[in-house]
Amino acid sequence: MAATELYIGLMSGTSIDSIDAALTRCTEQGCELLATLEHPIAPELRRDIAAISQPGEDEIERLGRLDRDLGRLFAESAQALLATTNYQADEVAAIGSHGQTIRHRPPSAGNHTPFTLQIGDPNTIAELTGITTIADFRRRDIAAGGEGAPLAPGFHAAAFAREGRNRAVVNIGGIANITLLSGTLLVSGFDTGPGNTLLDHWIQRHRDLGYDRDGQWAAEGQVSMALLERLRDHPYLTRRGPRSTGKEAFNLAWLETSLQQLPALQPRDVQATLAEFTAETIASAVGDAEISVDEVFVCGGGARNTDLMRRLYRLLAKRHLATTAELGIDPEWVEAAAFAWLAWRTLTGLAGNAAAVTGAAGPRVLGGIYPATGVRTVLVK
């Protein structure tokens, strides 16, 4: 097998639950998933990431240390993935590392100087793995006037578009995003609003759990229409055209402001309302799409949330709804595979963004390339 066909994608999202690592074979004919690994993030590191994601004291010092710590963890995840296979580091063309987003200030939110920032030092990843590493995918699109997000729609189009089918691919991570495909044409893509982030933070606060397994807690509650109406007033939901968002806009502080204006609610009822809000914003994006969507395919962690999927089935009753497993890629690994694909695009000199999605001035080759040294430190036996 040609070494240039093997790529590793590393993804850590808004939920900060783990690093998803995927080994793929990428060619002009497509991207095949070969092996996957969910690499844990220690609780103390998760707390540090959550803390640096909000303004605070001594930020530069904390940022510098955390950038290196995450670089080491991303390197460990790549090596742990390879340890489960028969492949060696020198057979891998590149690692595509998304990094960990700690700020996202896109132009659509009215930021005078838009920027986005992901950490997880790629120099450290390249040095420890001995594998060329490509990272910092989002900032070139921002520099070209784009949102910097979402970037997965290009991969969605390459992997899931089919002639004669109008499809929506919905990724439900911490934030949810949608890709609209008319046949093989990528029509548009954008963040729809919250995915798992509010659900995860609310259950963490009230039940000390990292997430609501299968949506069981939300399923026990009753939707508060009064709270739902207030959540629907979020200004992000009125935006049109290229747009993206993050936990800067959808967070517990915003939720608490809404709750303070209402009579006290049972925590499980708030969870049920948050699940309904997430499902509703996704369904609205499908219903308001520029194309008549026939099929909806879900990927990301939200695909495992039985309660959330049940709500989507109800709201999208006239459309075929399934996960991307029906199209050949397990929903849990689509985003990690997307960043392997983006690394392949970068090394082959092909654009990784889609201007129709991000609003950038045009197609751009994304990411910085950090070459392998040929010297490896083995972190995983």
Q: What is the pLDDT of residue 13?
A: 82
**Which pLDDT band holds residue 374 (cuts at 50, 70, 90)?**
low
**Which pLDDT band holds residue 54 (cuts at 50, 70, 90)?**
confident
Q: What is the pLDDT of residue 354?
A: 96
Please give the Cα distance from 105 to 103 (Å, whole number): 7
Q: What is the pLDDT of residue 16?
A: 84
Dihedral of alpha carbons 302, 307, 312, 313, sign:
positive
Please give the Cα distance from 206 to 123 (Å, whole number): 39
The C-alpha R_g of the chain, in whole angstroms, comes to 20
Q: What is the pLDDT of residues 151-188, one digit of tens each?
A: 999 999 999 999 999 999 999 999 999 999 999 999 99
Q: Is 300 left (phi over 0), alpha (psi -120 to 50) or beta?
A: left
Residue whose structure tokens are 């092996």:
35
Q: What is the pLDDT of residue 364?
A: 98
Dihedral angle computed from the Cα positions of residues 161, 81, 9 and 16, in that order, rounded to the nearest 10 degrees: 100
Q: What is the pLDDT of residues 79-92, one digit of tens each?
A: 999 999 999 999 99
Q: Please enumerate in sequence order all residues whose Cβ is within 8 A of that of 278, keeping only pairs 6 or more positions apart, or say none.
A: 172, 176, 193, 194, 195, 196, 198, 199, 302, 308
Please give the Cα distance from 164 to 42 (Å, whole number): 46
Average pLDDT over residues 110-134: 97
Average pLDDT over residues 195-218: 96
Please give the Cα distance from 362 to 320 (Å, whole number): 33
Q: What is the pLDDT of residue 2?
A: 42
pLDDT at 118 exceeding the cut of 70: yes
Least confident of 52-61, 68-77, 160-169: 52-61
pLDDT at 323 exceeding the cut of 60: yes
DSSP string, 334-378: HHHHHHHHHHHHHHTT-----HHHH--SS----SEEE---S----
Average pLDDT, the chain: 94
Best CA proximity match to 150, nearest among 187, 116, 191, 111: 191
Average pLDDT over residues 89-100: 97
Q: What is the pLDDT of residue 4?
A: 63
Average pLDDT over residues 266-274: 98
pLDDT at 15 exceeding the cut of 80: no
Best CA proximity match to 259, nearest among 248, 271, 247, 249: 271
pLDDT at 329 exceeding the cut of 90: yes
CA distances from 287 to 110, 317, 326 (A): 26, 11, 22
pLDDT at 75 exceeding the cut of 90: yes
Best CA proximity match to 142, nearest among 373, 370, 359, 336: 359
Q: What is the pLDDT of residue 6?
A: 98
Give yes or no for a contact between 180 and 187, defined as CB atoms under 8 angstroms apart. yes
pLDDT at 342 exceeding the cut of 60: yes
Q: What is the pLDDT of residue 17?
A: 84
pLDDT at 380 exceeding the cut of 80: no
Give yes or no for a contact between 297 and 160, defined as CB atoms under 8 angstroms apart. yes
Q: What is the pLDDT of residues 248-263, one digit of tens each?
A: 999 999 999 999 999 9
**Which pLDDT band holds residue 57 (cuts at 50, 70, 90)?**
confident
What structural domains does the chain harbor?
Answer: 3-148+333-370 (3.30.420.40), 152-332 (3.30.420.40)
DSSP string, 76-88: HHHHHHHHTSS--
Give yes or no for a contact between 359 and 241, defined as CB atoms under 8 angstroms apart. yes
**Residue 57 CB neighbour total at 10 angstroms:** 6
Is 3 or 356 the better-scoring residue by pLDDT?
356
Least confident of 41-45, 53-57, 376-380: 376-380
